[in-house]
A = this chain, B = another copy of it.
């Protein structure tokens, strides 16, 4: 069986270019005991992948140059040498940017297509949804009546953050770029207030939307939005930090002025809590409650989600570039096969 792969050809400097990716077709090895042959249906594209393309120290090993780009996938089992998985099973796997792959059956999780669309295992019921759930509830800890602000709010993490905040009795203020996304925040996801960070009046809009200040800022973007938000934080505000996509393509520290001393002064005078996290650190303690709560919330319509599906693996690099500058509208998935 042949697979078509997208490999990391070179470590990108700034925005990844086509030259940083290489398309390779190669023969897969025969299955060994315990393995399954998987056909990719959906590939998830997520901001963290930009970090994996770089050699900088992080919580995970970088993709080696020449290696297949990593990523979560939803796949169909087309051949099995494991009693755990049968041909025809649909599974969650981590087989990366390729059309077929051989995997250890133990590294797959079977999905129930009748319980929820299988694509949700990559979004609202998967890693992005869990990131929102764990970060907001464990670090943000929104209290009834408090104000929670999140940017990239139509994305899979941001949209879940806003809706979970409301379930916990807080006000949710969502920030996005462009009229269509801003409209979706209130009409589709039910945010209390929606703001456009591209608006020339964003500063004033944010002030009007947060008359009592901000108690939780869920940081998944960075950049100038974060700057404006931190100026309105209340004493004892919490900032879970799960992503800084605005900075991921940066090649050097931006020009001054140096904002770090001012930021630390706010940390001090407002008794702020800043906590970086990756969802995996909460897996042992929260996976069970997440699956139970989120499945129920999605089923009951309390948490809605939106998917942005790009057809064909060949379009993954361009879609990924778009993700890094916010061109996606909802959870970005590549439909690799039917």
A: which residues have CB within 8 A of B?
51, 56-59, 219, 222, 226, 235, 241-244, 247, 250, 252-278, 281
User: How long is the Cα–Cα vector from A281 to B273 in the complex, in angstroms?
Assistant: 14
Number of copies: 2
A278 engages B271 (CB within 8 Å):
yes
Known A247-B264, A254-B256, A260-B260; further 14 A-B contacts with Cβ < 8 A: A219-B264, A222-B261, A241-B268, A244-B264, A244-B268, A254-B258, A256-B256, A258-B260, A259-B260, A260-B263, A267-B275, A271-B275, A272-B276, A273-B276
User: How long is the Cα–Cα vector from A254 to B261 in the complex, in angstroms?
Assistant: 8
* A258 in contact with B268 given A235-B59, A273-B275, A275-B273 (CB within 8 Å): no
User: How long is the Cα–Cα vector from A51 to B57 in the complex, in angstroms?
Assistant: 37
Residues of chain B contacted by A267 (CB below 8 angstroms): 241, 274-276
Closest to A59 in B: B269
A275 engages B277 (CB within 8 Å):
no
Residues of chain B contacted by A226 (CB below 8 angstroms): 264
Residues of chain B contacted by A235 (CB below 8 angstroms): 59
B277 engages A265 (CB within 8 Å):
no
User: How long is the Cα–Cα vector from A51 to B268 in the complex, in angstroms?
Assistant: 11
B269 engages A58 (CB within 8 Å):
yes
CB distance from A138 to the nearest CB of B (A): 12
Residues of chain B contacted by A269 (CB below 8 angstroms): 51, 56-59, 276
CB distance from A10 to the nearest CB of B (A): 22
A244 engages B261 (CB within 8 Å):
yes
Taking a contact as CB atoms closer than 8 A, the residue among B56, B59, B253 that contacts A261 in the complex is B253
Which 4 pairs across A and B sit closest by C-beta, in order of nearness? A256-B256, A253-B257, A267-B276, A274-B274
